Amino acid sequence: MNPLRLFWGWKPRKIECFRATNQSVKQLPILEKRKIQAEVLGPVFREMVEQVGSEKAASILKEAIRKAAIEEGKHFREKADASLSTMDQFVELMELWKAGGALEMEVLQQSDTRFDFNVNRCRYAEMYREMGLQEIGHLLSCNRDGSFCEGFDPKLKLVRKQTLMEGADCCTFRYTLDSENKDKNL
């Protein structure tokens, strides 16, 4: 008998079982995705600090995350429902970031050109603190928000004056879509 089966109840499977499908990847909650990324990037960041110093390490991480967020925005835009306006597509995506109670938010305004809300509880920030990564949590998550817009639609802009990750009592999200250039299908 296979010793792995005795110890862990492991059974050999065909390699096809381990291939990720688009459906299985989509089902991974964003909070869980960020945790997996942080488990890898935390030690990489600490090593970069030792090698090049904290300022340079933070700059490298910030730029790498910014570029990844732009690409992620492009990917999500390609998969978005073309029958919806840009802002409606974007608002629909928020469900992915809120999944599992990851964000507790209060919507202040929603229209074809604005989406304003405050986040009163952020499990992303809580998770980074629990992992001892509070010094880079803003780079791993908060930094992505405005950059994501660049990839999703360059006319979509974010203004945020404060975040929970930085110690404020809420995160302020104020998204605007340039009304002169908004989608023609509105």
What are residue 53's phi and psi, to 5 degrees?
A: 95, 160
At residue 94, the pLDDT reads 92
The predicted-structure confidence for 5-39, as pLDDT tens digits, reads as follows 444 444 444 433 333 444 444 568 999 999 999 99
At residue 8, the pLDDT reads 45
Q: What is the rounded distance in angstroms from the CA atom of residue 101 to the CA atom of residue 164?
A: 16
Q: Kindly list the domain boundaries of the chain, sorted by start residue.
A: 29-177
Q: Tell me: pLDDT of 4 over 90.
A: no
At residue 43, the pLDDT reads 97
- The alpha carbons of the chain give a radius of gyration, in whole angstroms, of 19
The predicted-structure confidence for 126-154, as pLDDT tens digits, reads as follows 999 999 999 999 999 999 999 999 999 99
CB-based contact 119:105 (threshold 8 Å):
yes
Structure letter (DSSP) for residue 20: P
CATH class of residue range 29-177:
alpha beta
Q: What is the rounded distance in angstroms from the CA atom of residue 156 to the CA atom of residue 162?
A: 19
The predicted-structure confidence for 43-84, as pLDDT tens digits, reads as follows 999 999 999 999 999 999 999 999 999 999 999 999 999 999
